[in-house]
Structure 1
Amino acid sequence: MNNLQRYILLLCLISLTLGCDSDYLEKKPQKSLLVPTTLSDMQAMLDNSRELMNVSPYLNIISDGEFRMLDAGLNGQARAVQNAYVWSSEESATMADWDIPYKQVFYANVVLDGLAKLSHQDSQEEFNRIRADALFFRGLAFFNLVQLFCAPYQQASAEQQLGIPLPVSSDVNLKMPRASLKASYEQVLKDLLEAAPLLENKPLYLTRPSKAAARALLARVYLLMGNYTQALQYAENALELQNALIDYNSVPTQSAISFPLPLNTVNPEVLFYVRANTSFLNNASVFVDSALYNSYAENDLRKKILFTSALKYKGSYVGTANPFQGLSTNELYLIKAECLARADETDLAMNTLDVLLQNRWVSGSYKPLKANNPDHALEIVIYERRKELVARGLWWQDLRRLATDSRFNFKLERTSMGVVHQLAAGDDRYVYKIPLDELAGNPLMQNP
């Protein structure tokens, strides 16, 4: 991580100059911005939401097959986007999807190291909250990295599989090797489990983590680890704090953007705000996959609320062209339903799914779902996950984790420049290559 962290060090100075509030900049000279000495300094670093802390990777949205791009549009995209679109194994010189999460880790580590040097007796509550925020952001960044640059988690092989470098200090002179996949997930869980009890039930701003958000993220992590008992527990615990759903009958279907900016207008489903680092879906050459579009029933309002009749996406909970990749209650209902199905609780799984879907269909038209057995229930839940959580990068995670399940054998296919490209379940290309600029400064073992 040596060269990358030096690069981050420079960017941190620039970002803090642009991103922090004016009071902070007035109080601290530029040279000391990287050595925060007060709780307000540290809060300002974590509140750099627009430029960094609430920004997520995006190549998974390009790769997961939910959207297609015309050749003319693809020609104008960056090389990393072109590679992700056709599932190329070519190595990229640089990748924002690697750099941004590690910048977030660096910021979090600067705050955590600074807190360790503070006397916090007079402001214990604020100290604990800021520490919990930093742990949450670091855990989320590590989690996003393993979804892109590591193999899917399998308990039997996780100790032998390569994970990611895990810097837990802001010391830029440390050169970090790749930890095991098991150790990488353990660090994610450690950060989130330590943060959760210290977080507020509801944050002052949606760009700050909350107890509900931490529980929701833990549910997602455990789901991807195949620990369905824990995933169910944390999904239910998060829903105890916030379980509201939007009745889509109240959402205008003719609007250019279906949902308002949640930072200005309350979106009751949003637990934590994150936007993907791209406006790819707003490109005039990008359209929803026709098979996905046609999978919605006529009375399913998601078809008109998530997409235009011209197959353009308009349903981001960000309220702009950027995809939403945060945490929300609708995902929790789906996690809960899936875990119940896997626990052979067929009726409970369907009942949970019904709570969500009756808020998605035209009033009076929805009929409760019926499943013949747990396998059938699970199939229905996975099918609804794809239709509900569009453009969140979660379908890429689902494709990865379901690859070894004989009940699901998804194969992606798309044609670009007259060439048919395919991605079979379990293919090595479900793991992105580490960018070359990182390998130049830190000779990590490259992915296959």
Structure 2
Amino acid sequence: MQNMKFINIKSLLLVGFLSLFSCSKEFLELEPFQSVDLETAIETIEDYQAAVLGTYSGMQSSNYYGRYFVLVPDVMSDNVKQNSQANRAQLFSDFATNATDGIAAGMWNTIYNVIARANTVINAESDIPAAVQDDRDQLIGEAYAIRALAHFDLVRMFAQHYGYTDANSHEGIPIVTVFDKDSRPSRNTVAEVYSQVVSDFMQAISLLNQDPGSARISETAAKALLARVYLYMGNYSSAETLATEVIESGDYSLLSTDNYVDAWSSGNSSETMFEIAFSEVDNNGSDALGRMYIVEGYGDYLPAGDLLDLIPDDDVRWGLFKTDENLSGEYGTVRVDKYPNPSVQNNTPVIRLSEVYLIRAEARARTNDEAGAIADLDIIRMRALPDAAPTTASGQDLIDAILTERRIELMFEGQRLWDLMRTKQDLIRDNCTNSTCRVDYPDDRFIAPIPQAELDVNENMTQNPGF
């Protein structure tokens, strides 16, 4: 990307969305794709539109929501086991990765590049006509939301969870809000990173004023993402409030039982608030997320037997698996089929209405609104299995039931590891095909190492313990 500064914003979409896949330099050395003088880089509303779309394009990378950022926390969890030929994310799955790992470096580099792109939009100074001010606010709001999400994703992947220390004073990741190629920042604390994430999401919500569709971030989608952040922070009151606003907005509706499985092939469903969209000409090809699971791809990873044991008979979500007669013994007989398209990459969901109901259910259960928690939980449970008996659990049993439902409903969407960490649970893999079948909480290996290449160029950067 040495020549990125010579790429004009307006030419970005003419060559398809700019790929990040070949980046090798670390983010502190990168120049953003439109790093010419900001006063000339973004002059018109069309420039803003191109820059924001270019920011979304970075999120398609196989190093981000296009594959590894979703895959890695799942293969590190108890939802997934390795097939015999697995050799891509195997070191993460076996809790044996190191500072020279290419996947860790790819995620670090790519996500910071997305932040650099968002910062260029946020910090642009331009004289935009009043007639398009609302459009400009919407686009800047999207950039704030992307920057918030990107920092949130980095701090989850490369730092221990919120609540790991009493004051969250443990090391997080560098907060980057301006582009400075000479900067060599140190790591902010996890408390500081989450504060920035919340601030950016709130700023985004104040600016977002349009519904741009599920491939971009709306005000309601930003509220849903912030509700997730609050849940991770243990701010259950705020999580419940925002989740309620999202649910009562009427902007999205849950899929029906009959339509649930088919919707995973088509994308853009009624309950998808924000997803990373792909098309026949704009996808990761053999590097697609789904190809890590399906037999037509690499088929490296399989559903864990103890996950399958949690899914009731006749549950509609059994339709998200596919029998493979070539599997047997410890590998079971089924494959993940949640991303089933063998040629065109399936869209990657980032936030769905189903999750928002489960966010509110957990927030309510943890603040003694058990009736409300049960109502939300059963909406998701009984959508999947209409004949299920209503939930009667209470106390910790109710919280456990909600976490179990999250495990099933959000399986293979990159959520399970984060739930284990934030609830301080041991990782226990039954019917284990990995070299590491148990990791007791807490453990240094629950997070990724800071890439060695980053340490080499920044004397202020520190490594995570254990690497």
What TM-score do you get using the length of structure 2 for normalisation?
0.80
2: CA distance, partners of 1:176 / 1:442: 8
Whole-angstrom CA distance in 1 between matches of 2:6 and 2:229: 32
The amino acid across from 1:447 in the alignment is N
Give the Å deviation of 1:177: 1.4
Question: Any idea what SS the aligned residue of 2:183 has?
Answer: coil
Structure 2 residue aligned with 1:238: 246
- Name the counterpart of 2:264: 259
Identity across matched positions, percent:
24
Counterpart Cα distance in 2 of 1:213 and 1:239: 11
* Structure 1 gap segments, 5+ residues each: 1-6
Contact kept, 8 Å, 1:410 with 1:425, in 2: the verdict is yes
Alpha-carbon distance in 1 for matches of 2:76, 2:431: 10
Give the aligned partner of residue 3 of structure 1. none
Matched, 1:296 2:311: yes
1:182 is matched by which residue type in structure 2? A
**Structure 1 partner of 2:96:** 88
1:281–1:321: 8 Å Cα contact kept in structure 2? no
2:180 is the alignment partner of 1:166: no
| Cα pair 1:104 1:141 within 8 Å, conserved | yes
- In structure 2, relative to structure 1, the CA distance for the partners of 1:124 and 1:302 (3 Å cut) is same
Aligned positions of 1:337-352 closer than 5 A: 337-352=361-376
Amino acid at match of 2:194: Y
Secondary structure in 1 matching 2:184 = coil
- CA 1:229–1:251 in structure 2 vs 1: closer, same or farther (change >3 Å)? closer
CA separation of 1:234 and 1:96: change in aligned 2, threshold 3 A: same
Q: Aligned residue for 1:100?
A: 110
Residue 160 of structure 2, aligned match among 151, 156, 159: 151
In structure 1, the residue corresponding to 2:463 is in which secondary structure? Answer: coil
Contact 1:317 1:324 in 2 (8 A): no
Is the contact made by 1:142 and 1:188 (CA closer than 8 Å) also made in structure 2? yes
* Residues 180 and 206 (structure 1), Cα distance of their counterparts in 2 relative to 1, 3 Å cut: same
Using the alignment, how far apart are the partners of 1:117 and 1:45 within structure 2?
14
Quote the offset at 1:244 in angstroms. Answer: 1.0
> Where do residues 18-417 of structure 1 align in structure 2 (5 Å cutoff)?
20-21=13-14, 35-48=41-54, 51-54=57-60, 55-56=64-65, 57-58=69-70, 59-74=72-87, 77=88, 81-94=89-102, 95-114=105-124, 116-154=125-163, 157-200=166-209, 202-203=211-212, 205-241=213-249, 242-251=251-260, 259-262=264-267, 266-274=268-276, 278=289, 279-282=291-294, 283-303=298-318, 305-310=319-324, 311-316=334-339, 324-361=348-385, 363=386, 365-371=387-393, 373-403=394-424, 408-412=425-429
Q: 1:434 Cα shift?
A: 0.7
TM-score w.r.t. the length of structure 1 is: 0.84
Deviation at 1:189, TM superposition (A): 0.6
Distance in 2, Cα, partners of 1:23 & 1:387: 36
RMSD over aligned Cα, in angstroms?
3.1
Q: 1:259 touches 1:318 (CA, 8 Å); kept in 2?
A: no
Change in Cα spacing, 1:43 to 1:87, as seen in structure 2 (3 Å) is same
On the 8 A contact 2:81/2:432 being kept in 1, the answer is no
How far off is 1:117 after superposition? 3.9
Q: Distance in 1 between matches of 2:412 and 2:8?
A: 27
- 1:355 to partner: Cα distance: 1.5
Residue 293 of structure 2: SS of its match in structure 1?
helix
Q: Distance in 2 between matches of 1:433 and 1:213?
A: 30
| CA distance, structure 2, for counterparts of residue 318 and residue 33 of structure 1 | 42
The count of residues paired between Structure 1 and Structure 2 equals 415
Instruction: List per-residue Cα deviations over 1:285-321 (Å, max 9, x = no partner).
Output: 3211122112211121112x22113321122499965
> Which whole-Å deviations, capped at 9, do the CAs of 1:47-73 have from their partners, x for residues lacking one?
137741355223212212322222323
Contact 1:270/1:329, CA 8 A, preserved across alignment: yes
CA-CA distance at 1:420 after TM superposition? 4.4
Q: Once the 2 structures are TM-superposed, how far is the Cα of residue 227 of structure 1 from its aligned partner?
A: 0.8
Change (3 A) 1:298 1:132: same
Q: By how many angstroms is 1:350 displaced? A: 0.9
* Range with greater deviation from structure 2 (408-417 or 351-360): 408-417
The answer to whether the 8 A contact 2:428-2:437 is kept is no
Paired residue secondary structure (1:359): helix
Read off the aligned partner of 1:100 and give its amino acid letter: T
Q: In 2, Cα distance between the equivalents of 1:395 and 1:15?
A: 40
Q: State the distance in 2 between where 1:46 and 1:123 align.
A: 15
